[in-house]
Amino acid sequence: METFSLKNGMLVGVASAATQIEGGELDHSWMDWYQKGRIADGSSPARANDHYNRWEEDAKLMRELNIRVYRLGVEWARIEPQEGKFDEDVIEHYISEIELLKSYGIEVLVTLHHFTNPMWFETKGAFEKKENTAYFIRFTEKVVSAFGLLVNEYITINEPNVYAVNGYFFGVWPPGEKSFFKTVRVMSVLAAVHIEAYQKIHSLRKQMGFEDTKVSFANHVRVFAPQDPDKAAHRFFAGLNERFFQGALSKAMYTGVIKFPISKIGNVKKGQYCDFIAMNYYTRSTVSGLGDGVKQGAPVNDLGWEIYPQGILECAAMLHKISPLPIYITENGTCDNTDEFRCLYIYEHLKALCESDLPIARYYHWCFCDNFEWVEGESARFGIVHIDYETQSRRVKKSGMFFRDLILANGVDEALYDEYIKGAQYRTSRAE
């Protein structure tokens, strides 16, 4: 069947990260990385989408696109620009933004940490040191206390494995380290800080009289496949990559069960440290050793990532087996700079989810607007809304109209399929 309906009660929306959209000359790790000349196209996070000043315009646009849920990130470096000094005006700004979104019927999931550190925290060693986690817990307490009744759902840490691997193993993200030991150390500290933040958020909101608290971390997972399934070495490295990149860390952060290579930091006990599975899924890695790779002949996006819709089910099932909880797809999207195949990508991934027996409760497309895409800068477009960075004008793409109509129709009927999907195909692929 070409058509499908959203699961009963399933909510669909979009996601973003503060550093990627807000703009502003802030003293944080990604501004420092830009100043060191480490952004591919030379663009600066100081420009981004100017969302910090255009938030009302963007909120209205979300309402026009029928967005039901929004994953919103707050910027630690903006809220606490100097150690121990919080900017109350910034906190009030976020409160106003959340109030407006909720007045439009858009529920907000708040992300506390999405890759970016204030430079005062970065220079202390950030999450390499367990003692530094007290600073993040203090920040968490400040934000959760301020938001009070407005927000009952939180993401503590976004993609701790990507943060650790890119920043400390491959050295392509700040702070630019290349150390297996430091990578594992950072993953272990992040597992501990998530668990502490989970407990802190629940405790704070209980003290405020709120019982409806939901907390998780955004877990970046992918399928690891052997380049040659007939070769034992390739199968071994597929399993090793999976364990080192996501398997052991997932168990630690969901359940407090610590297994190699994660080490126990502090007094972590076995338990349940997520109230829902928050899963970010983009691609499959085909490997023959330690590292990443792409299957030959597979369809790929504009960054060369394989497009593998079945993988979203494989990964969701794997996480659900660890913790049988409701599943939020907190990121899923693709780099398609000309918006030629994004409709097909969204359709195939959502259809796979909705036809499964997994408890999929939310789907957040990554992302709402094109934005500052980390080391790729402004050169990689993931949004359903086009941004002209020179003028900051917004224009809804064809994929944005498809997304709007899909939400309104509660799925994809024959008319939507014929209008947006029929005849579509992935534009690029690798030759055999």
Q: What is the pLDDT of residues 141-152, one digit of tens each?
A: 999 999 999 999
Neighbouring CB atoms inside 10 A of 321's CB total 8
Q: Which string of b and e fits 19-53 if b means at least 16 CB within 10 Å?
A: bbbbbbebebbbbbbbeeebbeeebbbeebbbbbe
pLDDT bucket at 262, cuts 50 / 70 / 90:
very high
Homologous superfamily of 4-221+255-282+301-429 in CATH? Glycosidases (3.20.20.80)
What is residue 344's predicted lDDT score, i.e. its pLDDT? 98
**DSSP bridge partners of 394:** 387
Q: Residue 319 is encoded by which pair of tokens? A: 């996480």
Q: Where are the beta strands (DSSP E) in 16-106?
A: 69-73
Is the per-residue pLDDT at 51 higher than 90? Answer: yes
pLDDT bucket at 431, cuts 50 / 70 / 90:
very low
Q: Where are the beta strands (DSSP E) in 273-369?
A: 277-280, 284-287, 299-300, 327-332, 360-366
Q: Which helix (H) or strand (E) holds 161?
A: helix 160-164
Residue carrying structure tokens 């599943």: 327
- Percent of the chain scored above 70 by pLDDT? 99
pLDDT bucket at 291, cuts 50 / 70 / 90:
confident
Q: What is the mean pLDDT of the chain?
A: 97
Query: DSSP state, 241?
Result: H
What is residue 89's predicted lDDT score, i.e. its pLDDT? 98
> What confidence tens digit (pLDDT) does each residue in 2-22 have?
999 999 999 999 999 999 999
By C-alpha distance, which of 246, 254, 249 is closest to 271? 254
pLDDT bucket at 359, cuts 50 / 70 / 90:
very high
> What confidence tens digit (pLDDT) does each residue in 196-228 have?
999 999 999 999 999 999 999 999 999 999 999
What is residue 428's predicted lDDT score, i.e. its pLDDT? 64
pTM of the predicted model over 0.95: yes
Of the ranges 94-103, 114-123, 264-273, which one carries the lowest mean pLDDT score? 264-273
Is the per-residue pLDDT at 42 higher than 60? Answer: yes
Asked whether 331 and 324 are in contact (CB, 8 A), the reply is no
Euclidean distance between the first and the last CA atom of the chain, given in angstroms as a whole number: 30
Average pLDDT over residues 117-126: 98
Ordered DSSP codes for 48-59: TT-HHHHHHHHH
Return the higher-pLDDT residue of 428 and 46.
Answer: 46
> What confidence tens digit (pLDDT) does each residue in 369-426 have?
999 999 999 999 999 999 999 999 999 999 999 999 999 999 999 999 999 999 999 9
Question: How far apart are alpha carbons 20 and 376 in whole angstroms?
Answer: 11
